[in-house]
């Protein structure tokens, strides 16, 4: 394989592979300068194919401005996709807040790349891994404490303020600064960094290299440039791409745990009924109902759920805690969506509303997410509280 790399800091990086030319443009996702650079570079190089750091879902979100208006929140709840949607919204709101500082919509340069390619009659290739796959791989491969760190980072991103201007973004576009930042993240959360960054570098490099045409322009976040350049020079197998492009199965423990806890609780009740004090058994049953019902209802109240939703949290949590196939949050979210469905205005302004703390509670669609999260959290806390009573049954 014959490889040449022309890496001028102020210009796109050009990689020549066996006579084919790949022009890599590293961007900041909320920079007007990046938008201008992308359009200028495509017009200058006139490639056969333009590759963009998007998957089909994010491409639709960028190009279909009215996508939220067609969202069927009840179907999302029925399919058990609330955790994914909540995480996606948290990430989007964080980037949107940063974008407000420069007046540029997050991902505008990626949308500009796709639009320019379409207008010029060039082929468009979406080379990034599906975002749901990335999030689920991160969650399932991270250990317990790393899961907590990821969750804390997502929650923290909802309320963190970012003040960035074009000068600071210019610094961020420098590979050295971004690489140093990723190195620090790698030290803190190596397994998360490997999935969020390293695997995607490999995945995108493979698809960029296999894109059709003799001249290719690839528009990617600047943080991915070093990894993509490195991987373009490697022989990456289709088996590797299949592995990192798939959702890993749940571990045996994670599959068994949702069933083990209810089984242990039921066993304790049976043991208490046969061998223990029946009064203690009655007290423990009341404790189970109150611990789950009250804490889940408090969670729904914090989310400013409808009164009917709060009542449903109290009723559902003690039951769903013994049923691993459905959680209290799914019940309360469905009730909230039924009694206080999102309006057209909520759908149209969800992106803007999520940039403020108040917006999460004032937007009806966002409030359904909060009801799901806080009532689930309350029910989970109720299990730990109730177990303190149950252990004294026998």
Do residues 278 and 144 share a domain? no
Task: Give the torsion sign (CA, 320, 364, 88, 182).
Answer: negative
Helix, strand, coil fractions of the chain, as percent rounded to 5 = 70, 10, 25
Q: What is the pLDDT of residue 294?
A: 93
> CA–CA separation, 215 vs 358, rounded Å?
48
Range of the domain at 290: 252-390
Do residues 220 and 277 share a domain? no
Other beta carbons within 10 angstroms of residue 270's beta carbon come to 14
| Tokens encoding 125 | 């290739």
Closest residue by Cα to residue 222 from 162, 187, 181: 181
For 370: left if phi > 0, alpha if psi spans -120 to 50, otherwise beta; the answer is alpha
Contact 276, 393 (CB under 8 A): yes
- Domain end among 209, 244, 279: 244
| Tokens encoding 263 | 């089984």
Contact 127, 189 (CB under 8 A): no
> CA–CA separation, 36 vs 9, rounded Å?
17
Residue 260 C-beta-side C-alpha neighbours within 13 Å: 6
Contact 379, 329 (CB under 8 A): yes
Task: Give the torsion sign (CA, 95, 99, 100, 105).
Answer: negative
Do residues 165 and 184 share a domain? yes
Contact 208, 216 (CB under 8 A): yes
| Tokens encoding 345 | 């205005």
Do residues 9 and 136 share a domain? yes
Q: What is the pLDDT of residue 169?
A: 53
Along the 394 residues of the chain, how does pLDDT read in single tens digits? 555 565 554 578 888 888 899 999 988 766 678 888 899 999 999 999 999 998 888 887 777 655 555 566 776 677 666 666 666 666 565 555 444 444 446 678 888 899 999 999 999 999 999 888 887 887 777 666 666 666 665 565 555 555 555 555 555 544 434 444 445 555 556 667 788 888 999 999 999 999 999 999 999 988 888 899 999 988 899 999 999 999 888 777 767 766 777 777 777 667 666 766 667 677 777 888 888 999 999 999 999 999 999 999 999 999 888 877 788 888 999 899 889 888 777 776 776 777 677 877 888 888 998 999 899 999 988 888 887 766 665 5
- Going from the C-alpha of 329 to that of each of 127, 138, 188, 288, 321, the distances in angstroms are 35, 22, 31, 17, 11
For residue 212, report the phi and psi dihedrals to the nearest 5 degrees.
Answer: -75, 150
Contact 305, 341 (CB under 8 A): no
Do residues 54 and 145 share a domain? yes
Q: How does DSSP classify residue 356?
A: S
- Going from the C-alpha of 367 to that of each of 15, 307, 334, 388, the distances in angstroms are 48, 13, 12, 32
> CA–CA separation, 372 vs 199, rounded Å?
31
Say how many domains are in the chain: 2
Torsion of CA 341, 342, 345, 348, to 10 degrees: -150
Q: What is the pLDDT of residue 271?
A: 66
Q: How does DSSP classify residue 300?
A: H
Matching residue, tokens 């004032």: 362
Do residues 33 and 178 share a domain? yes
Do residues 287 and 238 share a domain? no
Do residues 260 and 114 share a domain? no
Do residues 285 and 228 share a domain? no
Query: What SS3 state is found at 163?
Result: coil
Contact 73, 147 (CB under 8 A): no
Do residues 214 and 257 share a domain? no
Q: What is the pTM of this model?
A: 0.68
Q: What is the pLDDT of residue 307?
A: 94
Do residues 153 and 227 share a domain? yes
Do residues 218 and 313 share a domain? no
- Taking only Cα atoms into account, the Rg of the chain, rounded to an integer number of angstroms, comes to 25
Stated as kind and residue range, the H or E segment containing 370 is helix 364-390
- Domain end among 190, 219, 244: 244
Contact 202, 6 (CB under 8 A): no
| Tokens encoding 149 | 């760190």
Q: What is the pLDDT of residue 102?
A: 40
- Domain end among 244, 264, 282: 244
């Amino acid at each position: 394989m014959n490889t040449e790399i022309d890496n001028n800091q102020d210009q796109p990086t050009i990689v020549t592979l066996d006579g084919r030319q790949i022009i890599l443009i590293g961007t900041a996702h909320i920079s007007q300068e990046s938008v201008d650079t992308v359009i200028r570079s495509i017009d200058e190089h006139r490639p056969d194919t333009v590759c963009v750091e998007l998957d089909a879902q994010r491409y639709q979100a960028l190009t279909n401005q009215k996508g939220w208006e067609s969202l069927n929140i009840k179907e999302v709840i029925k399919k058990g996709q609330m955790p994914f949607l909540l995480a996606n919204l948290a990430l989007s709101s964080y980037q949107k807040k940063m974008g407000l500082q420069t007046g540029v919509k997050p991902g505008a340069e990626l949308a500009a790349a796709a639009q320019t390619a379409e207008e010029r009659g060039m082929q468009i290739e979406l080379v990034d891994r599906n975002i749901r796959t990335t999030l689920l791989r991160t969650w399932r491969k991270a250990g317990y404490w790393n899961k907590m760190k990821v969750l804390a980072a997502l929650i923290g991103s909802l309320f963190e303020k970012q003040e960035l201007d074009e000068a600071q973004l210019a610094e961020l576009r420098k590979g050295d600064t971004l690489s140093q930042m990723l190195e620090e993240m790698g030290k803190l959360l190596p397994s998360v960094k490997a999935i969020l960054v390293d695997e995607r570098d490999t995945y995108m490099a493979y698809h960029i290299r296999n894109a059709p045409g003799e001249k290719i322009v690839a528009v990617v976040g600047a943080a991915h440039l070093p990894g993509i350049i490195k991987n373009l020079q490697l022989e990456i197998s289709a088996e590797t791409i299949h592995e990192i492009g798939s959702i890993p199965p749940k571990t045996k423990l994670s599959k068994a745990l949702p069933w083990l806890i209810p089984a242990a609780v039921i066993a304790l009740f049976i043991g208490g009924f046969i061998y223990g004090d029946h009064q203690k058994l009655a007290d423990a049953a009341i404790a189970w109902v109150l611990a789950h019902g009250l804490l889940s209802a408090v969670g729904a109240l914090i989310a400013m759920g409808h009164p009917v939703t709060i009542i449903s949290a109290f009723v559902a949590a003690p039951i769903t805690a013994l049923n691993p196939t459905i959680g209290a949050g799914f019940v309360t979210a469905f009730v909230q969506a039924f009694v206080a469905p999102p309006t057209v205005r909520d759908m149209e302004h969800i992106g803007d509303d999520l940039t403020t703390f108040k917006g999460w509670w004032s937007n009806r669609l966002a409030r359904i997410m909060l009801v799901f999260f806080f009532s689930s959290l309350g029910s989970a806390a109720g299990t730990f509280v109730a177990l303190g009573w149950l252990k004294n049954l026998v």
